[in-house]
Amino acid sequence: MNSSIDICDQSILITGGTGSFGKSFVRSVLEHCPKVKRLVVFSRDELKQFEMQQEFPESKYPALRFFIGDVRDQNRLRRALEGIDTVVHAAALKQVPAAEYNPFEFIQTNIMGAQNLIEACLDTQVKRVVALSTDKAAAPINLYGATKLCSDKLFIAANNFKGARDLRFSVVRYGNVMGSRGSVIPFFLEKAKTGVLPITDPEMTRFNISLDEGVEMVFWALEHGLGGEILVPKIASYRIEDVAQAIAPSCRQDIVGIRPGEKLHEEMITRSDSPNTLDLGDYYAILGSGAHKQRAQYLDSKGAKEMPVGFAYESGSNDDFLSVDQIRGLIRQHINPAFEPV
């Protein structure tokens, strides 16, 4: 069975399709495949859908559909998935402090919503599913990360009971998305107007990925993923202090301390994952403990390499760090072409 697919010949549904990633994914699909069979945006915010329809009018994009619904509603998901071949799951509640205060809301969306989607895919004719994860799901210390770890486990385990269906569930896990809503760079750009930047800890580091790179990774997973793996990109890290210096070197920096539920450094692959981790070139793949067939296929036909026991992938010990000048260049490239430090 050939693992590759032609994304342009697919009927695609994206949950959370009005979010930062969703809009970028939709834009990329329509640019790459102007005659895509069908592209369905599934989300619960009718205002965001209306605003997105202004950007992508039906007259120009007749294959684009908007479907109001919540991943907490399995029946609605099942209806939305009729005739769908490919699913990208980006719907989630993700603000760490909000998760600590409203834990069951996050459980219902991030965990129960994931299982609802899995069940609905098993009941329809879906063939490929790629779910978005987060670095906070590796050795989680906050509730948001814990819910996403549960979600990852659900999607990986779904490959065990798909039966004879031509259906594959994969997960992609990456770090902070540059410029996404609620992330540090837009926050600092706004705070710079006050003359003061709140710094949690000068030593804090994070992984960095652009929206375009995140979308490209999902395309790769849809085309090459075998199912049953968590894919992790090889990306650069940055120091929070360097981000502050890149954006506003003239601003005073106030050290405010690490917030509850935050780590000093983020992980995407823990040492405990190392026996099940393969190097695929641009990406790592963390396989499920029982994914012997996928392991052999990656090693034999895709040129993968096994990682040594004890390997870990952490933002603080990463080999690749962005400089202040590189951060400024990325801000101009991905957020504001006219950006200048203040």
Contacts of 189 (CB under 8 A, 6+ apart): 247, 331, 335, 336, 339
pLDDT in tens, 53-99: 999 999 999 999 999 999 999 999 999 999 999 999 999 999 988 99
What global pTM score does this model have? 0.93
Residue 40 clears pLDDT 70, i.e. is over it = yes
Q: CA 48, CA 50: separation in Å to the nearest integer? A: 5
Which domains are delineated in the chain? Answer: 7-173 (3.40.50.720)
Contact call for residues 233 and 283 (beta carbons, < 8 A): yes
Decide if 136 is catalytic: yes
pLDDT in tens, 275-330: 999 999 999 999 987 788 889 999 997 789 999 999 999 999 999 999 999 999 99
Residue 125 clears pLDDT 50, i.e. is over it = yes
Active-site residue, selected from the candidate residues 23, 94, 136, 148: 136
Q: How confident is the model at residue 232 (pLDDT cuts 50, 70, 90)?
A: very high
What's the mean pLDDT when you consider all of the chain?
94
Q: How confident is the model at residue 5 (pLDDT cuts 50, 70, 90)?
A: low
pLDDT in tens, 148-166: 999 999 999 999 999 999 9
Contact call for residues 192 and 248 (beta carbons, < 8 A): yes
SS3 for 326? helix
